[in-house]
Amino acid sequence: MIWFCQLIDKPYVGKGRWFCAILWLTVLVFQQPAVASMTSIDNVRVRPSPERTRIVFDLGRPVEHKVFALTNPRRLVIDINDAKLKTPIPDLDLDLRDTPIIAMRSSRREGNNLRVVLDLAEQVRPRSFVLKPILQYGDRLVVDLYSDVQQLTPVVQKADQITRQMRDVVIAIDAGHGGDDPGAIGPGRLYEKTVVLSIATRLHELFERELGFKSVLTRKGDYYVAHRERTEIARKSQADVFLSIHADAFKTAEASGASVYAISQKGATSEAARWLAEKENRADLIGGVGGVSLDDKDDLLAGVLLDLSMTASLSASLEMGESVLKSISGVNKLHKKHVEQAAFLVLKSPDIPSLLVETGFISNPGEARKLRSTAHQQKMANAIFNGVKSHMSDQPPAGSFLAWKHHGESERLAVHVIERGDTLSEIANRYRVSFENLKKVNGLRGNAIRIGQTLKIPTT
């Protein structure tokens, strides 16, 4: 108002002062009824119910109000404009049992405004509205307190755990050699790099189609990838298993059969294995140009550290290796009846159970003929797939979808928390439930979902 008078002072010099004096008087007169129209709050009622606690302020007339929360300690503030309590809160004898309210108090602030403060035992989600008079009730201000489940930390953590419990087992598939490194060369210029890329790609497709599995290829074409890079790809994909696919060669054409290798800390366990290890490791010198020497120096130090953490993954590798070997025996002769151990660089992934599968001897004319055929390549991929799948289903990694299946689905942890990029149809497909059923169970009308939203997955 002072501002207004200063403003009009300019054009009405002299007369303006009178005008302002009259204006002030008018304001004073009009302010009186405003004080008189202050609302009386006749009563305050608190009603707990299973889903919420309702606080009702019985008013003389509609009011303007504001509700907001404060923390440390947890409080809810209800500011009501131009209002005063007919009876002080302590005299209202409110029953606060079965409510989140510890205590209720009031104070007057900024002239005629009333502030009601609720001390809370737990976090609440408030909802407030005014009600018009009906029957015996006059104007009312209602504040509902809902228990704020969303913000309780343990619940959020549980949802997070559920997401992780439903994760896929990640299989990193490594097609050996590539590019300038052809690997072993068989009769009719059959290259190991070509055969193993075909088997690896087929294996990748099998895992990608299998519920509970996800797969990543370390190379997708005819190019060279350094050994360290191959294991880096696996690690970045958070792989549970690393499978390196190769084909054998030997000085004599008679050598035949498939072999499965796991890492050995002490190096090769047999003369043949040591020879193979040297041959496979030499590939980095052929294909890896530039940066290799630096990588090798790192390898010396890293190698020592890695060896320490490999003990655990080694026993897992050996068990999985036996399962794969058993499965391969159905489609191919075996070179050795047990999993062999060798110091292959590509197997040196700490904590990732790793296997190197020699799918047969490309140097043996009979096996080379088989390895060249796509039908046999598919059979070999199927065999490796079944061996790994069977082992992983028996001993699923903690927190995986397979682990949930393995434990009889009894926990009914069929909940999916929406992540970026998820679509309803993709989720339905992933959990093998019908799209319509998924929508029905979750009460969804459209196809819209949002990140962080929790979906129930029908289990049968």
Q: Does 228 bind Zn ion (CB under 5 A)?
A: no
C-beta closer to Zn ion: residue 183 or 257: 183
Handedness of CA 92, 106, 118, 43 (dihedral sign): positive
Q: Is the four-CA dihedral 151, 154, 159, 161 of positive or negative sign?
A: positive
Distance CA 203, CA 199 (A): 6
The least CB distance from residue 292 to Zn ion, in Å, is: 18
Q: How many residues bind Zn ion (CB under 5 A)?
A: 3
Residue type, 46: V
- What span, in angstroms and rounded, lies between the C-alpha atoms of 143 and 77? 11
Rounded to an integer, what distance in angstroms lies between the CA atom of residue 323 and that of residue 328?
9
The amino acid occupying position 120 is: L
Instruction: Choose which of 126, 176, 178, 287 interacts with Zn ion (CB under 5 A).
Output: 176
Q: Which is nearer to Zn ion, 126 or 186 (CB)?
A: 186
Least gap, CB of 363 to Zn ion (angstroms): 12
Interface map 136-175 toward Zn ion (x if CB under 5 A): ----------------------------------------
Taking alpha carbons only, the member of 378, 379, 359, 355 closest to residue 367 is 359
- Binding status of residue 183 toward Zn ion by CB under 5 A: yes
Tell me: does residue 246 bind Zn ion (CB under 5 A): yes
Least Å from the CB of residue 283 to Zn ion: 7
From 7-15, 103-111, 181-189, 339-347, give the range in contact with Zn ion by CB under 5 A: 181-189
Q: Is 434 exposed, middle or buried (0-12, 13-18, 19+ CB in 10 A)?
A: exposed
Among the listed ranges 142-150, 245-253, 313-321, 386-394, the one in contact with Zn ion (CB under 5 A) is: 245-253
Of 259, 263, 256, nearest to 317 by C-alpha is: 263
Strands (DSSP E) found in 236-394 = 241-248, 259-263, 340-342, 354-361
| Closer residue to Zn ion, CB minimum distance, 126 or 176 | 176
Toward Zn ion, which CB reaches closer, 46 or 234? 234
Query: For Zn ion, which is the closer residue by CB, 177 or 416?
Result: 177
- 78 vs 233, which CB is nearer to Zn ion? 233
Of 94-102, 120-128, 180-188, 252-260, the window that binds Zn ion (rule: CB under 5 A) is 180-188
**φ/ψ (deg, to 5) at 297:** -65, -40
Give the helix/strand (H/E) hosting 109: strand 101-109
Interface residues with Zn ion (CB under 5 A)? 176, 183, 246
